[in-house]
Structure 1
């Protein structure tokens, strides 16, 4: 249910789409990266954000979040430097299971699933935009040792790394939709543009397709789609952006609405608990709920 969406195809334009209605505020970024956003007086605070728990001790961080097959539970995991372990937790962060994935954790950053029970781990964290072994790992939780690799490269990257002003090839957010895995970049250069690429959901080696560019004044860390497929949430550092639409194409053309999560910590994982409630995790181990 988590990733069921409308069947419309994504738009093909590559112009910057969806100017946000509120600007993001200054915040620290991952591994010392600092944002330079100015606070906008129209900024909306997340009044409905509430702490609901802590991740079980031993789960050192949460770099992504996705609903597990068992109702009311979720998968989470660490990124580079952490073992290739996927943890299953309840809605308060308490561990109820785990398994080892049959592929190394170069830099896992996101997880999504399709309508047939396949999961897609985004091993595409790319802090310095210098990786040439980017991949999506396709697996089923019942047989985690069997992993299919979707290797990919970006069509618009020719230098590894590119100049600092061109470093927009770090991907910490992805979603499965209609036979494609959508990749949402974290803009480490200007912190203004989230590029959206797609790759097929079948194992193989591909050149990703650049679909569009979203005007997101923040560094995107996760993505999740509402159960009815009409609301996309792009999580960022202590903030999130909401794009609404009656179809997937409409969503990618929508004007993002901004919500501040100031004080929540290093927000890295997001998944819909139900149609109107978002579950959010941080690398510090906090678990929050947010009513939308």
Structure 2
């Protein structure tokens, strides 16, 4: 394991010269952590991961807790730049995992980040382990990843679940999904109920959460949700396991989720964590593929297929 300083010492390739993200037969065994220049993520408590549309190979992740320093802040988004060899590449001035500050969005308990159809990033301050914490959605503009520009918050929406748990004022949540022009939030509880966010006409006013469906199959307390670009897969994950569900690409929005969540998974597996329990809380499909990139609170990173690994015939 090399130090963080050693991994950033190599000269950075120009950002526009990043390897294409076709990932043909990615050279990583399913369920195994990726070697990111033999180093892990630079900060713990990773929670939430999303792929950029404007910048191929770029992913953003955030933290939901942990100690904060000037070099490892919490109110910030961190960047990963993934090449077609399943390795990380420098994003900015030789840094593999740089961050950019998010102003006017305090990190009470950030849990997930998604990208909308207009390339805005939405940060979900949606954790409420104490049953009473205030929860918010922050919409931000995506800066150029290879600059020091911050993320600018353009809207802030308070939220609360309409059906709080007994003795609570809201529900705890860790997973969000942008689907067909709508934002969805999964409650972290039994059967993983999902709610559609109804944004108000006026910015910064409270949103409404409409119940959509929940699982018939025993998928509980999820922390990750993702849909493949071809819309044939819905993947959900908890701290130690992920589930892949078949989806009907012809369906939209609520109907898409109800159909996909009504059956049993076509594949499920545990994360092969070197620590035994990685506490995975962020994940995204690699654009254009059925490969999944996950980040964990213990700094591990995983690249897995959304199907069982094929036997090695060599």
Shorter-chain TM band: 0.7 to 0.9
- Could you say what secondary structure the match of 2:46 adopts? coil
Q: CA RMSD in A?
A: 2.4
In the alignment, does 2:193 pair up with 1:195? yes
After superposition, residues 52-201 of structure 1 pair within 5 angstroms as 52-54=34-36, 58-68=42-52, 69-81=54-66, 82=68, 83-91=74-82, 92=87, 95-102=96-103, 103-131=105-133, 133-142=134-143, 144-157=151-164, 161=168, 169-187=171-189, 192-201=190-199
After superposition, residues 18-33 of structure 1 pair within 5 angstroms as none
Structure 1 residue runs of 4 or more that deviate by more than 4 Å after TM superposition: 54-57
In 1, the alpha carbon distance for the partners of 2:206 and 2:182 equals 14
Please name the residue that 2:31 is paired with: 49
Is the 1:110–1:121 contact (alpha carbons within 8 Å) kept by the matching residues of 2? yes
**Greater relative contact order, per chain length (Cα 8 Å cut-off, separation 6+):** 1
Quick check: which one's strand share is greater?
1
Give the C-alpha shift of residue 107 in structure 1.
0.5
In 2, the alpha carbon distance for the partners of 1:251 and 1:180 equals 12
In 2, the alpha carbon distance for the partners of 1:93 and 1:223 equals 23
Where does structure 1 lack aligned partners over 5 or more consecutive residues?
Answer: 1-46, 163-167
Of residues 257-266 and 114-123 in structure 1, the stretch that sits farther from structure 2 once superposed is 257-266
In 1, the alpha carbon distance for the partners of 2:65 and 2:229 equals 30
In the alignment, does 2:291 pair up with 1:291? no
TM-score of the superposed pair, with normalisation by structure 1: 0.73
Please name the residue that 2:12 is paired with: none
Aligned residues between the structures: 236
Give the C-alpha shift of residue 214 in structure 1.
1.8
Give the C-alpha shift of residue 122 in structure 1.
0.8
- Could you say what secondary structure the match of 2:230 adopts? coil
Give the C-alpha shift of residue 70 in structure 1.
1.6
Change (3 A) 1:105 1:266: same
Cα displacement string for residues 109-130 of structure 1 (whole angstroms, at most 9, x for unaligned residues): 1111112111111110111222
TM-score of the superposed pair, with normalisation by structure 2: 0.68
Is the 1:223–1:234 contact (alpha carbons within 8 Å) kept by the matching residues of 2? yes
Where does structure 2 lack aligned partners over 5 or more consecutive residues?
Answer: 1-28, 69-73, 90-95, 144-149, 307-314
In 2, the alpha carbon distance for the partners of 1:237 and 1:56 equals 18
Cα displacement string for residues 35-92 of structure 1 (whole angstroms, at most 9, x for unaligned residues): xxxxxxxxxxxx7222213565532231111112321121011103552010111234
Give the C-alpha shift of residue 229 in structure 1.
2.2
Of residues 209-218 and 279-288 in structure 1, the stretch that sits farther from structure 2 once superposed is 209-218
Change (3 A) 1:234 1:76: same
